[in-house]
Structures are given as structure tokens and as C-alpha cells.
Amino acid sequence: MSNNIETSQSVDELIARTETCNCVDNQLFLTPSSAPTPLNTLSLVGKIVSTRNFIHTVIKDIVDKAWKPSLPIQVQRVDRNTFLFTFGHEVDRQLAYNRRPWTIKGLPDLWIGLKYEKLSELCYKCGTLGHAEKECFLRKALLSNQHGIRFPAFGEWVLFGGGDLDQLYTHLKGGLCEAPSSAMKILGWNCRGICNASTTRALRAIIKVQNPHCIFLCETKATDVRLEKLTRSIGFTEHVIISPKGRACGVCFFWSNSVNAKVIEFDVRTIVVSVHDEFCSWSLIGFYEPPYQAKKHKAWSNLHGLLQSLNNPWMCFGDFNVVMEEEEKEEGKRGSFSSPNFLKDLMFDLGAIDLGYFGNQFTWWNKRWGKGAIRE
């Protein structure tokens, strides 16, 4: 050991040097820490929308995997499916709060169509239940859509089964102007074969009574020559005809000379027409859903892609071969929640609104009487 340590570095000398050490010249000044972050700024309250009753440990496992926080999260049950989330850092709380679909904050407005059924007195002027419009002294309630167009908030169209729209006054660039005195009338009919005289007479009678501007026929089961003759007999020179495959399907679209329209695209089940009026350019789509389950998914996927690609307003009508609600079917087996409802899913995905209908509530019948009769 003596060979590795010099004689001047004896133990006594090291002790002496250590005793002379001090920290006077190396003082450190520490800034006192700020007050701890209040727990209420690190907390969120969330609710699970479900019929099942969840426990906090399950929710903690879910949010840990979904949010991936830098510090542990404490989950405390407040009420049934309602929980208090306490975060360890403000950044974790902000990341969880800003993610979708945990909150609807910041999302665009969503227009929802409502229908009223079996209400005795509803004021179409102010929307109050309990008195009629003629007894109301308030100003008519108006709404504005995303284009700045103002329209009455209430009217006969909120009734179940629809009704005629009153004259609307809209605020456009030129100021207040009156909307057209009559709306465009559109007829969609699954004629199930237009090749016989009785069906042709029925179509002429409907046209005489309803006086539609546009007509969409599906399941025509007729040749082009037959349908060309039909267009001349009903007075609709503007048309597009899609021939049936064999004796199945077949669609056609007629419109009057008063409608400024042109065909955009078509296939065996869908016809798209672009309509130009004094307000804007919009698309009118006639659609026929095949009754066969194997072909439904492809048909609805094509329609969903088509509607999603349109940049202007659109309206889709025709024979969808689907029951949206239980009230649309009388007798027979009710639809199960496991079976797909393509129309309802499409309306939810695209934010579409059901404009209702005018005419018979049921368009299909199994041609039986009594308890065995089914209508949809």
C-alpha cells in the first residue's frame, strides 16, 4: 500500500484538510415551491351511457388503455355509471378531455327532425302546447339554417304524416323575398310492372290528382319501347330509362319541362339528377333497394358512397325496402335489433333528415286477410 500512496498524503494530512472545508463560498438558494395544483383542476366527471352497471376497476382498465396517461389515474364511483377521474398531471387531463367522442364540445350543430303525434293543441306560431295559433299573440318563432336562410320554427309539417308547407320568407342577399308559392312535388312508386293497361291507368290517375314535377318508377319490368310510349302518353318528355335484367327490376325517372334538371349518373338501381332553381343547385336521387338480402349490403354501400361524395344539398327517395320503426309494420314478425337497418345507419352517418311522406302509410301487403295479413 505504501508503494501506491505518496508519503505527503498521510492520514493526518487528509484529516487536517477535511477539517478546513466549508460551504461559505458555495451557497445554493432554493426557490420555494408553488402551491400544489388544486384537485378540482385535475378532475373530470364522466358518465357511461349503457344499460349495464360498470364498476370503477373495469373503467380504470379501459381508460388506462385508451388515454395512456403519463401518471396514474384515480377512478372513483359517484353514482350508477358515473365516475370521477382524478389525473396526476394537467396534460393528461387535457388530452383526455379533448379526445372524441368523450365530449361534444366544439362539434358543429346537428339538425334533428321531430314529429309530433296525437297532440290536441300545438301552436304553430310559438310552439307552445295548450293553445291554438289563432289564440296566440306572440311573434312567429323563426330559425336560421347553416346558409343563413330563415324559416318558421313550427308549422303543420311537424304533424305525424306531414302537411303542406306555408309560404316561407327567407333572408337572402337581396333582402327579404318570398319563397315559391308551391313546393316541388315528387312521386316515387314501385309499380311492380308497368306493362299492363290497369297499371298505366293508375299512373295517369295519380299524375292527374297529384300533378308531380318528377316521377321515379321502380320494378318497371318493361322494355324501353314500352316505357318510351308511356312517357309520351303521360306528357313527360324528359326522362332516363334503365332496362330491367330479364323480367326483374328496371327503373326510370321522368321530369316535367318546368324543372331545370340533367342526369348526372345512373345504374340498375339508382338515378341521380342535378336540379337547378333560383336558390341553388341540388341533387335528386331515386333509389331502389333490392329485396334480396345478399345484394342489400353492396347496394347500400354504393348509395352511402354516392351521397357522401355530393357537395351540394341532396334528397333521396324511392323504395328502400326497409322498415325504420316498429310503427311502420302491421302484424307479422317484428325486426330484431341484431339485423342491420341500412337506412337508419345511413341517416345517422350522414346526418340526413326524414322529410316524411304523403299518401298511404303502407306500401306492401302479403295479399292475405284477417290475422294473417301483414302490411309494411
Output the pLDDT for position 253: 86
- Helix 342-350 vs helix 293-309: crossing angle, to nearest 10: 10
Residue type, 339: S
Nearest Cα neighbor of 259 from 278, 277, 284, 279 is: 277
Q: Which tens digits make up the pLDDT trace of 24-47?
A: 556 666 666 666 656 667 888 888
Segment 180-193 mean pLDDT: 72
The three cell numbers locating residue 165? 308547407
Segment 87-95 mean pLDDT: 87
Angle at 66 between CA 60 and CA 67, to 5 degrees: 85
In this structure, are residues 96 and 87 in contact, taking their beta carbons and an 8 Å threshold? Answer: yes
- Ranking 114-118, 148-152, 171-175, 278-282 by mean pLDDT, the lowest is 171-175
Q: Quick count: other Cβ atoms within 10 Å of Cβ 287?
A: 25
> How far apart (Å, rounded) are the C-alpha atoms in residues 254 and 209?
17
Residue type, 359: G
Average pLDDT, the chain: 74
Q: Which domains does the chain have, with CATH numbers?
A: 1-105 (no CATH), 114-183 (no CATH), 186-372 (3.60.10.10)
Give the single-character DSSP code of 234.
H
- Choose between 311 and 374: higher pLDDT: 311
Output the pLDDT for position 304: 86
The strand pair at 214-218 and 186-190 is best described as parallel
Placement of cell 345512373 in the chain: 266
Nearest Cα neighbor of 214 from 243, 189, 191 is: 189
Give the three-class secondary structure for 249.
coil
Q: 4 pLDDT exceeds 80?
A: no
In sequence order, which residues have a C-beta less than 8 Å from that of residue 61 and are 6 or more positions away?
none
> How far apart (Å, rounded) are the C-alpha atoms in residues 290 and 299?
8
In this structure, are residues 93 and 87 in contact, taking their beta carbons and an 8 Å threshold? Answer: yes
Q: 79 pLDDT exceeds 70?
A: yes
Q: Which tens digits make up the pLDDT trace of 306-346?
A: 888 888 888 888 888 777 666 666 666 655 444 567 888 88
> How far apart (Å, rounded) are the C-alpha atoms in residues 236 and 216?
12
